[in-house]
Amino acid sequence: MAEITRSRKTTGKVTLADVAKVVGVGQMTVSRALRQPTLVSEEMREKIEQAVQQLGYVPNFAARQLASATSRNLVVVTHSLISRENALILSALQENIRDLDVQLVILIADNKHWLRELINHSPLAIVLLNLTCPDNAKEWITQSGMPCLEIGSIQQDPLHINVGIDSKQAMKKMVTFLVEKGYQEIALLSATQELAIFQQYLASWHTTLLAKHINPHLMLHSAEPISFSAGGKLFSESLLLWGKIDALVFVSDELACGALYEAQRRHISVPQDIAIASLGGLDVGTVSYPRLTTISIPYEQIGYQAGKMLKRLLQDDVPSSQTKVIEIPTKLAVRESC
């Protein structure tokens, strides 16, 4: 488990008056825009939100209702709670911080105003779970000095604490294994998932196959969310599109197992007729037939380490002026599907 430490920008505490001064309005207007945005014009809201992001202002709405002047909200921002991967990470994280006096708030980043919702929760700390942080959110988090934990995949330029796997290395490990087994016609199949993680997979897919003088352009994507049925459809479409092919690599165990079910239904033998592999390491791959060859990603370990770091953050054991990267290693699990 590798750790990398870098410096991180922080600022002093920004007040409501600072925001009002930048925008050129009264403090009441700023307060109203943040608490009841429909009462303020869209043009004014945009100006105020821009100032909030640039200054890193953290409103403390909890102080207006409680004697305590500090929010105890730990806000987790993610695109999905449906995915098994996110559920495993979050469960392990929650177990590790059970003894802390915090309120866990889940925020689904499914609209352009999720940053406003995040700011309004006045968080004690922020957790970005398998989420690419947009530039405006990065600006606000950096300027506010808010403790921030990015979980899932190693980021090129982390905001604060980053716990996850090296997605590029995971894909390289799988591709190298298949090529060394003698497979030459290898295809990558995917469905809708976090774009940044898929881009890391895709970059590694291209560079690794090109380095081994193998065509990297056999790729098929479904606009559906990741599911067993999406995997079955991708399997059928790949056979129609390419005919004879050596191996299929799916970016999810669910997709791969859906392909295994479809292969059985069509009486196609795996791996004799075609090999199937994936990246994930979920339990379903250990009970499929044949059992699934996969890159095992230790989601519970990621969540455990994230929870451990979060406790240190909240107890001021980690300097807010530093970034730290904690890489959790993946493992190739070779089973009967290849």
pLDDT in tens, 176-216: 999 999 999 999 999 988 777 888 999 999 999 999 999 99
- Model confidence at 2, pLDDT cuts 50, 70, 90, reads low
Average pLDDT over residues 287-309: 95
Quote the tokens at residue 69: 């002047």
Q: What is the pLDDT of residues 86-116, one digit of tens each?
A: 999 999 999 988 888 888 889 888 777 788 8
User: The pTM is what?
Assistant: 0.80
Domain regions of the chain by residue span? 2-165+300-328, 167-296
Q: Which secondary structure element, helix H or strand E, spans residue 277, and what is its range?
A: strand 275-280
3-state secondary structure of 163: strand
pLDDT band per the 50, 70, 90 thresholds, residue 287: very high
Number of other CB atoms surrounding residue 68 within 10 Å: 10
For 99, other C-beta atoms within 10 Å of its C-beta total 7
Domain 167-296, CATH homologous superfamily name and number? Response regulator (3.40.50.2300)
DSSP code string of 133-144: PPHHHHHHHHHH
Which of 196, 206, 204, 194 is CA-nearest to residue 295?
A: 204
Instruction: For 54-67, give the DSSP string.
Output: HHT----THHHHSS
Q: Cα separation of 335 and 293, whole Å?
A: 5
Model pLDDT, residue 120: 80
Judge if 2-165+300-328 and 167-296 fold alike in CATH terms: yes
How many whole angstroms separate alpha carbon 226 and alpha carbon 281? 15
User: DSSP assignment, residue 283?
Assistant: T
Buried b / exposed e over 129-161, threshold 16 CB at 10 Å, is bbbbbeeebbbbbbbbbbbbbbbbbbbeebbbb
Q: What is the CATH number assigned to the segment(s) 2-165+300-328?
A: 3.40.50.2300
- pLDDT > 90? residue 330: yes
Half-sphere CA count of 307, side-chain side, radius 13 A: 21
